[in-house]
Amino acid sequence: MTAFAPLIDPFARPIQYLRVSVTDRCDFRCTYCMSEHMTFLPKKELLSLEELDRMCSAFIGLGVEKLRITGGEPLVRKGIMTFFEAMSRHLESGALRELTLTTNGSQLVKYSKDLATLGVKRINVSMDTLDEAKFAEITRWGRLPQVLRGIDAAKEAGLRVKINVVAIKGFNEDELFNIVDWCAREDHDLTFIEVMPMGEMGEETRLDQYWPLKDLRATLAERFTLTELAENTGGPARYVRLEESGQKIGFITPLTHNFCESCNRVRLTCTGELFMCLGQEDNADLRAPLRASESDDLLIAAIREAITHKPKGHDFDYSRQKVKGQMTRHMSHTGG
């Protein structure tokens, strides 16, 4: 039961999925996500963990059933386990169906057991290569062995791991089958993601990186029989099964296939901005109404007003050798 009438956008889509960035900071500097020398937000601009609790709880009261914690790297935020503990009460009440997170894996050795204890059942780990040198190159500050140890710790804690791989032309094309085979051996789910036009990068750079997933799928089909699956997890991925291995592979294709028609999610930044669409600049300030009153009435009204502006879809487009709909904000600002 929701505390209030559920959130429905102008296109009759119920809003049931909230992605929350709890920090813009990260211990990696992935080249497609942020610059190497980032200027991070002053701490006073960030929502406190208590404010994040209030914000998320308001959304849950309005019908949000799935909460994904993102960043930056969410697990580098000081005291973050107290926030997960606060959210776990909504799992126990049944109001929240799933609490999960996307991570770079660097802190999983430290936190996997706690996450599992607090009700997290599955996590996404962003990892674009199994080559140690290439991993250091693309993350700038990351080290592959640390991430692999973290993934092992997550498995030992009983967390289901999904590996997210950004498909990057000229970088991990030659690793496609290695990554697929490794995920099969380790029993990890796997999703490939097209490079999105976000952040302060020129059109030439983005186009040079762009590896359409239709081409990746065609390469997979040279070795595997791909069967389309009707499965919909509420996210943007479309799935196939590799018949020879039995693996389920996801594809997130914001550029070659617009997945907006079933979009049931919004994104909240660590400063309280609500982005109704990843690929649009329109946003609503929820921090001001949150801080204006100890009651949640103003906040709930602001959330409802924001949802009335959720667009039908984004404008990402790489056609005609031009990046259309490019977002100037870094992915770490909105949340992965």
| 70 labelled ligand-binding | no
If you ran DSSP here, which 8-state letter would residue 7 be given? P
Query: 325 with 281: CB under 8 angstroms?
Result: no
Distance CA 170, CA 103 (A): 24
Q: Is 32 annotated as a binding residue?
A: yes
Residue 267 is assigned to a ligand binding site: yes
Residues 165, 183 contacting (CB under 8 angstroms):
no
Check whether 34 is labelled as a binding-site residue: no
Cis peptide before 313 (omega within 30 of 0): no
Answer yes or no: is 260 a known binding residue: yes
CB atoms within 10 A of CB 263: 24
CA gap 322, 317 in Å, rounded: 8
Among 149, 147, 153, 86, which residue's Cα sits nearest to residue 116?
Answer: 153
Is 134 annotated among the ligand-binding residues? Answer: no
Is residue 265 part of an annotated ligand binding site? yes
In order of 54, 114, 145, 212, the CA distances from 304 in angstroms are 16, 34, 45, 36
Please check if 1 is assigned to a binding site.
no
Within 13 Å, how many C-alpha atoms sit on residue 241's CB side? 8
For residue 79, say whether it is annotated as part of any ligand binding site.
no
- 291 labeled binding residue: no
Residue 183 counted as an annotated binding residue: no
Please enumerate in sequence order all residues whose Cβ is within 8 A of that of 85, keeping only pairs 6 or more positions apart, or say none: 118
Does residue 56 have a known ligand-binding role?
no
Q: Contact, 105 vs 71, CB < 8 A?
A: no
Vertex 101: Cα angle to 95 and 107 (nearest 5)? 135
Q: Which two tokens stand for residue 195?
A: 């490079």
**Binding site residues for [4Fe-4S] cluster, as ranges?**
26, 30, 33, 260, 263, 277
**Binding site residues for GTP, as ranges?**
19, 68, 102, 162, 265-267
**Binding site residues, as ranges?**
19, 26, 30, 32-33, 68, 72, 102, 126, 162, 196, 260, 263, 265-267, 277
